[in-house]
Amino acid sequence: MSTSTPPARLHIGQLLVQLTRVFQEELFARLVEAGLTDARVAHTHVTAYIKADGSRLTELAAQARMTLPAMSELVDDLQRLGIVERRRDPTDGRAKLICLTDAGWEAMGTARRAILAIEEEYADQVGADRFEAAAQTLDELLRALSAEQPRRDTR
């Protein structure tokens, strides 16, 4: 594509941001319908990065590109809601792991089912093959850019 001719579409940043907004609105509407009335978009900064066996607060904050106090506030909120709990880290007695509770795992299952339904509807909009190809392409791009990230940070 020539740099002098603007594309006949939104640029990739606009597409990703606007699709994320539309996706999040739909997802959280469905979560509320499913009974998760306290679900907030901000909670995804925890749930998107938490490991199955738990994550340290510092890891979650770094992955979400948030400050420790901001991440701690989200974790406190999710703990108040019974979605996560803080457990002693078996590898370091001084550290705590943020872990999903049984209710947290149930909420994640509800979210996964809602996401699958949304993806099916998106596929109906543009065709299953095109949707899957777009998702695979974005996945490849994310993996490639993530692999380059340490190099970029040192420049």
Residue extents of the structural domains in the chain:
25-147
Residue holding tokens 């299953």?
A: 128
**Amino acid in position 154:** T
pLDDT per residue of the chain (155 residues) written in tens, 0 to 9: 556 666 788 999 999 999 999 999 999 999 999 999 998 889 999 999 999 999 999 999 999 999 999 999 999 999 999 999 999 999 988 899 999 999 999 999 999 999 999 999 999 999 999 999 999 999 999 999 988 876 544 44
DSSP strands (E only) in 50-102: 84-89, 92-100
pTM above 0.85, yes or no: no
Decide: 100 and 83 in contact? Cβ < 8 Å. yes
CA dist 12 → 2, 22, 85, 118, 141 (Å): 16, 15, 37, 21, 12
Burial class (CB in 10 A: 0-12, 13-18, 19+), 97: buried
As a CATH number, domain 25-147 is 1.10.10.10
**Amino acid in position 49:** Y
